Amino acid sequence: MAAERVSERVSMVVFEGGGYASEAEGIVAKVRKAIVLDLIELAGEIREIDEVLLVTGYEDLVKPAQKLGAAVDLDRIDSPFSFGQRLRDVINDYHLQNVLYFGGAAAPLISREDLTRMALALKEQKNLVMANSFNSADFVAFTPGAAINNIELPVIDNPLAKRLHNEAGLRMGMIEPNLSTNFDVDTPIDVMVLGVQPRTGARTKRTIRGLELNLSRLEITKKILVDPEAEVLIYGRINPDTNAYLNNSARCRLRLLVEERAMRASGRLDRGEARSILGILLEQRSPREFFHCLAELCQCAFLDTRVLFAHLKKSVSKSDRFNSDLGNYQAIEDELVREFTREAAAAPIPVVCGGHALVNGGVWAMIDAANIEKLGRNNEDKIHRIVVELGAPICGLTVDVLINYLDLNIKVVAITDAYSTRIDPPLSMEIQAGQVLYILGSDKQVNYFLEYVSPNRSLD
């Protein structure tokens, strides 16, 4: 039975579509297309994923996706789009058994290891649904595909995992929270974060570079996040996983103010019930005074402005929200949002405005980027980069054991994986396949170590 199960095909289904009504929205749409193609290419390199199907309304994605080996199913322009119905029809029409569903920009920093783990879980287990979030999923792996016929079809993808569990009876398996699974692209500021993140895919990097966005504010705040002398305010719908990561990895002193988590899912946003401590401060001060108050508390601030706008009972258009993220106050129609954005740009400290993704995966991605770059600047000619391969003898060893391995005079100065980059990792940290070790030592010592760990390999 196990052998029969493993032979079943895993199908990645990627949805990307929609339109845009402003230049700011067009920036996000353009980058999302590049993210889709990077994801398709990565999936094509993973043997546990048997096929990729792109479901899209963008005709300009068809040929590039097909060139990368994906099948394409174009949305019909003569019928209204409903996510649940579209996914159900695709699964039934193509007879998909094991489904790995992704929204187009759901995981721009997804790792090969996470994709492989999800695909293997589908091949090896039955009646399973996995997601990056139970209540608000961005990507979902489930088997059997036919389970979608037993649920109330969701209008958007966020409730899909929960309904497959509650209504179709699939067992719920969560994907370990990490950088790969905790960051998606919804707004221009998310695009800009990708512009300063070294893990970003090649096509996405080129696309962002071609947009000529001003990334200087993010470059500054990225360095502040790993400055032990700095104080940083992060405000908004910060989830527990991000909170834990920040406490473990941010070198700065943190002021975390968590407000109005799940305000949309709970209906508080629609009912006008969202309330915010910073919102009260903004009500009592002009935007200029508000940002001067923040400057007394920290050296930089990351603000989930959607919570502030909800507190003020402002129904802000997508175009205004996106232009606010970009700092393009001249293009904003709402008077208060325009003034807020202008004063944010002129504040005494760097202020980064965005939505839910910014204060979760966004700051996570920036800290990770800063640590990688800091490592590259320190002793560049002496640090060697070694990828831990599957089955390597050092898998399962701790750093403490490793630095004394074979009586070698080496030091592990950092370990990076899909989760984060750890500078000076704790001695109790275990080595796992897929990690990258940064080792300080002579070429001779490191080559000797590498030859034992991975035969027939040597340093470049």
Q: Residue 167 and residue 318: Cα distance in Å, rounded?
A: 33
- Give every strand in the sheet of 411-416, ordered side by side: 383-387, 436-440, 411-416, 421-423
Strand segments, DSSP code E, in 276-318 are: 300-304
Sign of the torsion angle spanned by Cα atoms 102, 104, 108, 112: positive
* Residue 228 identity (one-letter amino acid): P
Model pLDDT, residue 377: 60
Contacts (Cβ under 8 Å, ≥6 apart) of 309 = 316, 321, 337
Model pLDDT, residue 296: 96
Q: What are the distances in angstroms from CA 355 to CA 49, 146, 262, 334? A: 32, 35, 13, 18
Contacts by 445-452 with C-beta closer than 8 Å and gap 24+? 445/408, 445/409, 445/410, 446/384, 446/386, 446/410, 448/406, 448/408, 449/386, 449/405, 449/406, 449/408, 449/410, 450/386, 452/393, 452/406
pTM: 0.82
Q: Element (H or E) spanning 353, and its range?
A: strand 351-354
Prior bond of 426 cis (ω within 30°): no
Q: Tally the C-alpha atoms within 13 A of residue 78's C-alpha that lie toward its C-beta.
A: 0
Model pLDDT, residue 454: 63
Model pLDDT, residue 373: 80
Query: Comparing C-alpha atoms, which of 9, 13, 17 is closest to residue 40?
Result: 13
Q: Tokens in use for 131?
A: 């997601």
Model pLDDT, residue 455: 47
Q: Tokens in use for 459?
A: 């340093």
Q: Residue 288 and residue 354: Cα distance in Å, rounded?
A: 18
Q: Residue 235 and residue 253: Cα distance in Å, rounded?
A: 14
Model pLDDT, residue 406: 63
What is the residue-level pLDDT of the chain in tens, covering all 460 positions? 344 444 589 999 999 988 788 899 999 999 999 999 999 999 999 999 999 999 999 999 999 999 999 999 998 877 788 899 999 999 999 999 999 999 988 899 998 888 998 999 999 999 999 998 888 888 999 999 999 999 999 998 989 999 999 999 999 987 877 887 788 898 999 999 999 998 899 999 999 999 989 999 999 999 999 899 999 999 999 988 898 888 878 889 999 999 999 898 788 999 999 999 999 999 999 999 999 999 999 999 999 999 999 999 999 999 999 999 999 999 999 999 999 999 999 999 999 999 999 999 999 999 988 887 876 665 545 678 788 887 788 888 888 777 776 666 777 878 887 667 777 777 778 888 878 888 877 777 788 777 767 644 544 4
Q: Residue 138 and residue 152: Cα distance in Å, rounded?
A: 18
Model pLDDT, residue 236: 96
